[in-house]
Amino acid sequence: MKPGVLFIITSDPRLSPRPAEALRIAAGVGVWRKADLALYLRDAAVLALSEQPDDLLDEDNYRRYLPLASENGCAIYVQQGAPLLTQIGEPPVRFLPITDEQLAAEAARSHYVLRF
């Protein structure tokens, strides 16, 4: 059984490079296929899924690594009802909105939880 790794991203990608770095790390680890990866975006971090990430710090990381992470089987979750979800346009990858209870269950199943 592969270890589960959950990346919880809460930083605002317009103000912090941390979400882009988390995504880069997840995409890099995903290439190995030695862990089951999941990304969870909360609050302003949902903007990382923007159709046009031009206003985000390190915007090239979103264009390059978000599709790569998704292609390598990384599950992408977002905070259900996050107000900024209406601003992302047509996201480049599929995602699943989840509740706080579902996030807690995902974290409990994961061997490692990293917060950015």
pTM, to two decimals:
0.93
Mean pLDDT of the chain: 95
**pLDDT per position as a tens digit, 23-44:** 999 999 988 888 999 999 999 9
**Structural domain span for residue 41:** 4-115
CATH of the domain at 93: 3.40.1260.10
State which H helix or E strand residue 113 sits in. Answer: strand 112-115
- In this prediction, residue 31 carries a pLDDT of 84
- Out of 56-60, 96-100, 106-110, pick the least confident: 56-60
DSSP one-letter code for 98: E
Domain count across the chain:
1
Instruction: Give the residue from 63, 64, 65 showing the smallest Cα distance to 23.
Output: 65
